[in-house]
Amino acid sequence: MAGALEGIRVLDLSRVLAGPYCSMILGDLGADVIKIERPGIGDETRHWGPPFAAPGESAYFLCANRNKRSVTVNLKAPEGVEIIKALARKSDVLLENFSPGTTDELGIGYEAIRDVNPGIIYCSITGFGPDGPYRNRSGYDLVVSAIGGLMGITGEPEGPPVKVGVAITDVCTGISAQGAICAALYAREKTGKGQRIDLSLLETQVAALVNMASSYLISGEIPRRWGTAHETIVPYQGFEAQDKYVIITAGNDQLWARFCKVLGVPELIDDPRFRTNPLRVENRKECIGILAPIMKTKTRDEWIELLNVEGIPCAPINTM
């Protein structure tokens, strides 16, 4: 079965993760992706290891670069610029994640490419946007996760800020860019016109704060770190069983009632401290203080079997 983007050509000048992840998804959808790399070096993630599948093919590089054809081009040479323009003339999308202004200096900025292909979708991914006080800062995932507030809400309540286990800001930006490009391609079908797309890691990161951001705007209170717990739902966290941890997500009052019955404490269902979720959030310490010792009386798998029978969302915390 043909992919939805069969017949679409993507000229990918990006490297590391956000841009390559975007173009990889476009390739998954059927687009023909041509990846431009630096002579002698390639995408720097080729060398981020170990592990390596082969020399110059790190696991990191391979995770975001399937479905692509690679070619090396010296973008600082006039011949390289002409190669890019020739490829752009026959492409539908150009994707790049250089620092703001770099492609203009090289002679392959939006206006220069639009001149050779007015219908092209030109997508730029930067760390902090094309203007503003942070425009020239390097936009690595960890830096943006710190500035954008994600690390401030990640980790144990009394511990230091913690980074998420994968470069989630890069990944989310890549997904957002892919959606924006597909929307621009659809718009071109109706208007016949290409367009410029600007995305930054920071704006994607801030958008991904979702309920934590809206909670701050409503309450004025700076969100805190909750470990595995949830700011506005109780119980919704990891519990220590006899042997391992188990995740419990009793996301409404009906699930709370079932959970109490499985634990053998039905009297908690109508306890005035815990009758509704807002009450359980208000009395979180007392509620978890009662539940935690009970959870230690059985193994993780025993709890999961009992909870699944009653339809209570739960899970082991698996390794890869």
pLDDT at 256: 98
Q: Cα separations (Å) of 313 from 152, 258, 304?
A: 27, 11, 9
DSSP 195: E
- Would you call the peptide bond into 118 cis, given omega within 30 degrees of 0 as the criterion? no
Looking at every residue in the chain, the average pLDDT score rounds to 96
Residue matched to tokens 């009297």: 267
Structural domains of the chain, with CATH: 9-207 (3.40.50.10540), 236-316 (3.30.1540.10)
Q: Is 170 a catalytic residue?
A: yes
DSSP element (H, E) containing 261: helix 253-263
The structure tokens listed for 45 are 């993630």
Give the chain's length: 320
Q: Give me the pLDDT at residue 1, please.
A: 55
Write the CA distances from 41 to 15, 44, 56, 154, integer angstroms.
12, 7, 9, 35
Cβ(68)–Cβ(24) below 8 Å: yes
Query: What one-character DSSP code corresponds to residue 15?
Result: -
How far is the CA of 31 from the CAs of 7, 66, 122, 124, in angstroms? 6, 12, 15, 18
Q: What is the pLDDT of residue 138?
A: 87
Mean pLDDT by 10 residues, the chain (320 residues): 90 98 98 97 95 94 96 97 98 97 97 98 97 91 95 94 95 98 98 97 96 93 94 97 98 97 98 98 98 98 98 96
Between CA 197 and CA 199 the distance in angstroms is: 7
Rounded distance between C-alpha atoms, residue 120 and residue 82, angstroms: 17
Q: How much is the pLDDT for 15?
A: 96
Residue in 12, 32, 92, 170 annotated catalytic: 170
pLDDT digits (tens, 9 = 90+) for 131-190: 999 999 988 999 999 999 999 999 999 999 999 999 999 999 999 999 999 999 999 999
